[in-house]
Chain A
């Protein structure tokens, strides 16, 4: 009998990592189905109805299998190594964010003392993958998509970070678990409703800027179909294309989960007596709602133009988040 004691931490980590990858894949599958359903119902259609019987619930599985067995085309003029590597880098960027998402008080990959900072850092990794994909494809449309994406994601990083700093300042910590713990005891304690209206503004700015972070409408310029064909993944096919897709839905989950964590009370119920329902359900429920709002916006709004996108970021979001930050800082200092 081998003593398991020394390896226990390792085993738990491996199990958690496998669990997270499974969760991400399942969530992405579910989200593609949900996206098509939401789009369908918004557009007065039904969406997938056939595969699997009940409301086409097997459709994402069928799509995944189709993508797996499709030919993996690499353009002759592409930079093959980078072309192959890019989708995984994008995927890792989105997966790494999951490490610090607190599904419940003791269900977290790693309660880093710089949790919020870590998330901001690893989600920027996605930019490198996208630039790589756009460059390696050796396609002008991909290049445009990659350039737009880099400009957009780096610009919007700033309002995102500034808005996230507000709850961090109020909590006095960057640890995800402690931030959530500070919001215990009913929805009036959530950071989104404390120090009204500053934190609410921060939440709104964060949510909109995060849409640009994950390239969702109305900020979906990098993959704007009608302008750039498909942006940086124009040349991708099969499972590599699916990796981009998976990463996109993973990213949607991560940014919504962070909003749920730092603004909407994480795993706590809106009313204390509802805390008998397990935390992960509240956490995933709040996140899923925000994901739904992202889909809702996508199927309702037209797309911005590049210059308008930059205008919104640098001339509206940024000054407001700075002013917001100063005012909340003042409030924190005065309060003690």
Chain B
């Protein structure tokens, strides 16, 4: 048997000094904790139609239009749903000058169950509609799996 260390009783096992590793990791953790941002910021995507391209098959897809009035009332109208050419209207009156979100949410929540092919929505705010209300109604549509959302700019601005 050949041995390179004949006669030596050296201990071949050794332990790494882990204290510097811990120092480095502690510094990393402190840095990351101090620079971490705990608020989750995202975006609400909106695709605006430019011009008026006719649909490919000559038939408009079913859509819902949310017309938000200055007094806080919301008129929701369904268009091109099934064979019904006439828009189906649903009015939500304002509650104390503000939008009655419970009724709007209840109605929007039933849309996807009743009309699964509904993927298009248009929001038509008024000049005095709050920006957060516009985002909130868009959020409701998104939650109801209505993905193609557009916003109508004000006329005459």
Q: Does A pair with B? A: no
- B interface residues with partner A (beta carbon < 8 Å): none
